[in-house]
Amino acid sequence: MSVGEFQLIQEYFAKELSAFGVNLGIGDDCALLTVPEGRQLAVSMDTLVGGVHFPKNADPELIAERAVRVCVSDLAAMGAEPLWFTLGLTMPSSESNWLSGFSRGLFKAASEYNISLVGGDTTSGPLAITLQVHGSVLPDKALQRCNARVGDVIFVTGNLGDGAAALAVIKKEFEVGKSAFAYLMSRYYTPKARIREGQLLTKIGHAAIDVSDGLLADLGHICKASGVAAVIEAERLPISDPVKKLCDPDTAMTWALTGGDDYELCFTIPPSRLRVFEDLQAKYNFDCTAIGEIVSGDGVSCLSEGRVVLPPKSAGYEHF
């Protein structure tokens, strides 16, 4: 059953608001928000298109979870605390069962990150989801791409290559057992935005980015913005057991370097702060791996047993 625009907003998206600073939320021409005193506002936007960023026939609950999580990941990369988000939803029809599942997933993920929906728009057309997230960070403490320095150690959180492996399974290019399938689908549809890790890094990190388009591409953004180069060691890349069992080592390495969709953090730490960082790792169970070093020059090189590994033709996902 289809529902009208204003009915679907009231029924599926006009939830009670309890977030800090929401003076007026859904229901008026604008939301009225108060930025926490002494903090800067961090804003990011992502658009996910059906058939491009997720399968059109996927569970709507999982589609919504993925949309929130990948957008909140941008806040994590800056070390920001999530506050609010807006939603632009374009869909072929306003089918109530689909909307019910989508709404459930949307607020499930939003609740996990304590981020409130404060407005948006709905319209008819090919399935596309646009989220704008808002967060706050202390002045001059936001992690930026431009602050990497020669000598910094390069780290990544979690595992790399899971997103690309999951997509290959979704496309039926590989078959996996039930346990591996569940793991890979969770990594694709419900990636964990590294909010806590990003906030910890504001105290000691130099530069950071989330791995959405592939490690080589995203680390390359840090290098270009900072005017430096990076050398990473292929043997250090953190690759999960399900991926190692799924494919040959070269494919696993290619996925880890260029696959994207992992939404882990890639960040740099100066040598003088490594001891402090080790203490944070132990105290907060900070899951990360040192994979290389920032050096002088430009670009990103990957070494395997001391030899340069030539990257694939594409260093990562590109939208055009």
**Binding-site residue ranges for substrate:** 53, 261, 317
Q: What are residue 156's DSSP bridge partners?
A: 266, 289
Residue pair 122/89 in contact (Cβ under 8 Å)? The answer is: yes
Instruction: List residues forming the annotated binding site for Mg(2+).
Output: 29, 44, 46, 74, 121, 210, 213
**The one-letter amino acid at 166:** A
Give strand ranges (E) for 55-173: 81-91, 116-124, 128-137, 153-157
Specify binding-site residues for ATP: 120-121, 145, 212
Q: Whose CA is closest to 300, among 198, 225, 202?
A: 225
Q: Residues 6 or more apart from 12 whose CB is under 8 A from it?
A: 99, 100, 102, 103
Summarize the annotated binding site as residue ranges: 29, 44, 46, 53, 74, 120-121, 145, 210, 212-213, 261, 317
d(CA 197, CA 169) in angstroms, rounded, equals 29
Burial of 172 (0-12, 13-18, 19+ CB in 10 A): exposed
